[in-house]
Structure 1
């Protein structure tokens, strides 16, 4: 079939042609947006789960939905080597530029001046120009160098400006587990203040399965945030991730082909997109057959092994790869740190730095005390294939 019309799009954070199985979270966010516009701010949203389950896609959908309502929206990704201060400051420039008009209201002008001071707090050489005369305008003061003080001032003034426009402010943070403790604590504190004083401000965080524990350790009241565990697509709707995009391009799937791809993918969105793309490419069409799906899965696994899995495997040192091999014996369910040490014939304490390095690289996480698991589904099988190759 025509590869140009291929509707499947594997890739980090790429929105699929059919975003299925996430209705509960999307509806809850839509409700929160409307409530905030009426002065009833909800607790932050926290999306957590393994890699490849669509957390970034869902977070971006949150951003798009807020933007469609005219909100001031910033989406950032932690762990990129920049501080939270820098990431948020730069992410807010574009939406503020769009609002910076000569007819801007008093609160918006104040917020823009405060944003300029926030910019100066991390970049004394760079300048922003919104093309407005801000002389005599209140605001500023977000340049003390104290993150809690500066961020609270910035988001308070932005929220006031948004309220003047009958909209709100949305801050979406991906890979939130990579924020440092002080940054995460500050965000929790500001979110708590926003909820108490009913600012039209919403936060959405996305991260690995360890994120709820990390947030609760940062601030105990983070336990009251709204948590959504993002997992495989529910079996009742998973077929739609394949059939809806195909129908949009006047194609269809045989039932046996759908069943084969669904089982092979484990219902993980990333793998569904990969197998869907490859099955489409090998099919003559307009019907994707079971044979097409078999070939698509083989080619999809090759693509996953050489990209999705290989990129992570190659980030590990030889010692870390040895540790991962010991984990892979237990599959994707998780391994006891003590059992791993026994397999490697080493003392558990001596493997502590290796375990910590794997967690820091995002290759593993600790679902509970004394247990370590892969952050990527299917990693154990990939490692087994490398061992037997």
Structure 2
């Protein structure tokens, strides 16, 4: 069929034409926004899941919902080598601008922007060094003595309280969307939890929506024991068969095309319902299909090409980031990994089994394992066990061997 009209969109964080299977999360967030706007108690939200399940896409959809209600929003992506202070400053600056306050409230807005500038510049240095490190675009002077103590926990609580107070004066709220939340540093994540705790107690209209890998809840719990009650956790998983079918059928229908029932079944068998795989296989199947409807034979012809593209762009790019010693550890994980099942779609393996497979002592493999954890290629949801952050990564490695 015409590749120009191909509706499928495999890409990092790229919203698919049909956001299937996420209605529950979208509706729940609408309730959060309404409750917070009315001054009712509500928790911030944390989305967890493997790579390729659509966390970033869902984060964008939730942000759009907040924008439609007139909230101020800001989004940032945490990096393990960067302080939260500067990135959060840029996100909150955008959120304050989106509130669009005027008149008398503009004076309060300028005060909040001054506090925000003081917060951002606290660790930035002075003179030329300051200009090189941060260009906030805030044309009001910094407010001394507020959110600039140098203690990130104290400063963040003061800053978010002022930003939320400004939002409350407008009758709206502020939502901060934080992707790759597991990469926030220990001090910063502790400060963020403390700030969310203060805001929830005071019922101020500011919520944080974080997204990260499956071990993110344990990262938050290690930071603050009350984080288990501070956030509402939502596990973002692969699509069920009905949702996966919708993700393929609705975009095709918009282009006057269709899929046979047998083709949909073959697609689900190939993709296991993972949203990124659904888009990747769907795009290739559309291109190889001569006419509508797409058939099971078209899917079988498309599968090898889709696998090759995934091997380079989705799996291979991650594998290339690993050192030879880390790749040895990854291959050993793949060799001892149990097959995925419906009950356990993300199989984990004992670290002792990896060591035994390699004929090494577990302590000697700790550097490789820790490096893989920092690179986000594996995660540890419980002590003594390890799993891939990317679905089907073990299958890919076994195929390469």
- Following superposition, the deviation at residue 41 of structure 1 comes to 3.7
Which moves more between the two structures, 97-106 or 142-151? 97-106
2:270 is matched with which residue: 235, 257, 264? Answer: 264
2:196 corresponds to which residue? 191
Extract structure 1 runs of 4+ deviating beyond 4 A. Answer: 98-102, 127-131, 137-140
- Following superposition, the deviation at residue 217 of structure 1 comes to 1.1
Deviations 1:103-132 (A, max 9, x none): 36143232222122223224343454556x
Structure 1 CA distance for aligned equivalents of residues 238 and 322 of structure 2: 26
Deviations 1:62-107 (A, max 9, x none): 1111112121111111116321001111223334345566636143
Query: Do 1:86 and 1:122's aligned partners in 2 also have CA atoms closer than 8 Å?
Result: no
2:117 corresponds to which residue? 116
- Following superposition, the deviation at residue 280 of structure 1 comes to 0.9
1:335 corresponds to which residue? 349
1:212 corresponds to which residue? 217
User: In the alignment, is residue 151 of structure 1 matched against residue 165 of structure 2?
Assistant: no
CA RMSD of aligned residues (A): 1.9
1:85 corresponds to which residue? 85
Q: Where do 1:1-389 residues align within 5 Å? A: 1-79=1-79, 81-99=81-99, 103=103, 105=105, 106-123=107-124, 124=126, 125-126=130-131, 128-130=136-138, 141-224=146-229, 225-329=231-335, 330-331=337-338, 333-387=347-401
Count of matched residue pairs: 384
Query: Do 2:89 and 2:119's aligned partners in 1 also have CA atoms closer than 8 Å?
Result: yes
Structure 2 CA distance for aligned equivalents of residues 89 and 64 of structure 1: 20
Name the CA shift for 1:80/1:2 in 2 (closer, same or farther; >3 Å). Answer: farther
2:342 corresponds to which residue? none
Which moves more between the two structures, 101-110 or 33-42? 101-110
Structure 2 CA distance for aligned equivalents of residues 79 and 120 of structure 1: 19
Name the CA shift for 1:100/1:121 in 2 (closer, same or farther; >3 Å). Answer: farther
Query: Do 2:153 and 2:191's aligned partners in 1 also have CA atoms closer than 8 Å?
Result: yes
Which moves more between the two structures, 246-255 or 191-200? 246-255
- Following superposition, the deviation at residue 384 of structure 1 comes to 0.9
Segments of structure 2 that go 5 or more residues without pairing to the other structure are 339-345
TM-score, structure 2 length as denominator? Answer: 0.91
- Following superposition, the deviation at residue 164 of structure 1 comes to 1.3
TM-score, structure 1 length as denominator? Answer: 0.94
Name the CA shift for 1:306/1:263 in 2 (closer, same or farther; >3 Å). Answer: same
Query: Do 2:90 and 2:136's aligned partners in 1 also have CA atoms closer than 8 Å?
Result: no
